[in-house]
């Protein structure tokens, strides 16, 4: 791949992402709080009379150039481009210098928007900071060290939503410090942050992530435990089996069903027996809608014989129908 084209492709892609995100911020802020709440952009960097339509036109222009660059590039991932190319002072001008005087080159557009975002980030509202992290994450994935640093800084943000989003963005980066960030954030006071950590751990080495996930099985919040179960499943972390068995006794029946289902996938077939009995006991005391929910629980633990019994004997045609459907999915 031609090195200049490769770098220009990276520049234009980042420009589109960053400009588009800031337009969304501007529109959202203007619609909810009035024009006075729009992002403050230094007068020296942009025309003071620029409108949203002009910015949208800039996006269209950048996208058109992106398509032209894509047509010129050979195959290759952006990660390979970043690993082999560096941004030099000549980027933004063509090889023959025809674009040297162009004031709207992709390089200048990108850095204008990028600097505005980095400068304005701390003054944004909680929700806008959370939304801005998507753009920072994209810049970081293109190798922007300052954007990456701001993601890390956001792990200590006062807003739990911002901290959780920062975890999700950092999880998509090849960051050697990520595992340590996740260890610390696993003890965050916010359930949303802990759930984000449990989800992110499925991307990490199983020997490092597994012990943290096992610890998170004892979390008091159901959504955190469910994310930990999914990650344990993704990592095929068999070492968690003894700890999963302990979780079969939790008071939340749905959670116990999820644990039993996971144990079955790990070839611990007998682990579901006690949970099946719990479901049947619960079913006997429920109305039609409650019995339908119990049928779905029995499907999750692959309780064929119990489902067949319901098909044969439940007084409700609705419950029998749901049980028949559940059996059909198990047979598939």
How far are the Cα atoms of 5, 27, 72, 289 from residue 66, in angstroms, in the given order? Answer: 10, 24, 10, 54
Q: Which residue from 165, 176, 175 is spatially nearest to 199, judged by alpha carbons? A: 165
Tokens 């749901």 correspond to 322
- How much of the chain exceeds pLDDT 90, in percent? 54
Q: Which residue from 154, 158, 123 is spatially nearest to 39, judged by alpha carbons? A: 123
Q: Which residues have C-beta within 8 Å of that of residue 140, sequence separation ≥ 6?
A: 147, 148, 151, 169, 173
CA distance 186 to 89: 42
Which tokens sit at 259?
A: 């644990």
DSSP conformational letter for 270 = G
pLDDT for the residue 17: 54
Determine phi and psi for 252, rounding to 5 degrees: -75, 110
When pLDDT is averaged across residues 108-136 and rounded to a whole number, the result is 82
pLDDT of residue 59 exceeding 50, the answer is yes
CA distance 258 to 237: 16
122 near 128, Cβ under 8 Å?
no
Helix (H, G, I), strand (E, B) or coil at 316: coil
- Between 289 and 20, whose confidence is greater? 289
pLDDT of residue 258 exceeding 90, the answer is yes
> Which stretch of 82-86, 139-143, 241-245, 289-293 has the lowest confidence by average pLDDT?
82-86
Total H helices, total E strands in the chain: 17, 0
pLDDT for the residue 57: 60
CA distance 168 to 196: 6
299 near 329, Cβ under 8 Å?
yes
pLDDT for the residue 93: 36
Which tokens sit at 167?
A: 């975890």
When pLDDT is averaged across residues 294-322 and rounded to a whole number, the result is 93
pLDDT for the residue 331: 76
92 near 107, Cβ under 8 Å?
yes
pLDDT tens for each residue of 179-206: 999 999 999 999 999 999 999 999 999 9
């Amino acid at each position: 791949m031609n090195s200049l084209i490769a770098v220009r492709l990276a520049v234009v892609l980042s420009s589109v992402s960053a400009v588009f995100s800031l337009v969304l911020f501007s529109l959202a802020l203007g619609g909810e709080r009035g024009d006075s709440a729009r992002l403050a952009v230094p007068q020296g960097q942009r025309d003071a009379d620029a409108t949203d339509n002009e910015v949208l036109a800039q996006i269209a222009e950048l996208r058109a150039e992106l398509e032209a660059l894509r047509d010129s590039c050979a195959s290759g991932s952006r990660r390979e481009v970043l690993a082999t190319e560096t941004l030099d002072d000549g980027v933004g001008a063509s090889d023959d210098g025809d674009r040297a005087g162009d004031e709207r080159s992709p390089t200048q557009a990108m850095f204008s928007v990028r600097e505005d975002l980095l400068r304005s980030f701390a003054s944004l509202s909680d929700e806008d900071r959370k939304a801005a992290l998507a753009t920072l994450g994209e810049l970081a994935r293109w190798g922007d060290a300052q954007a990456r640093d701001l993601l890390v800084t956001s792990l200590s943000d006062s807003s739990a939503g911002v901290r959780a989003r920062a975890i999700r963005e950092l999880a998509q980066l090849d960051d050697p410090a990520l595992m340590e960030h996740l260890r610390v954030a696993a003890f965050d006071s916010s359930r949303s942050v802990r759930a984000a950590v449990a989800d992110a751990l499925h991307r990490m080495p199983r020997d490092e992530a597994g012990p943290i996930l096992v610890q998170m099985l004892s979390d008091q919040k159901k959504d955190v435990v469910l994310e930990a179960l999914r990650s344990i499943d993704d990592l095929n972390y068999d070492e968690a089996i003894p700890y999963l068995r302990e979780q079969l006794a939790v008071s939340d029946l749905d959670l116990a069903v999820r644990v039993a289902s996971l144990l079955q996938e790990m070839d611990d077939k007998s682990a579901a027996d006690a949970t099946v009995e719990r479901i049947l006991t619960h079913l006997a005391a429920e109305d039609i809608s409650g019995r339908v929910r119990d049928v779905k629980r029995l499907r999750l633990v692959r309780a064929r014989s119990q489902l067949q019994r319901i098909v044969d004997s439940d007084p409700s045609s609705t419950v029998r129908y749901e049980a028949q459907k559940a059996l059909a999915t198990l047979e598939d």
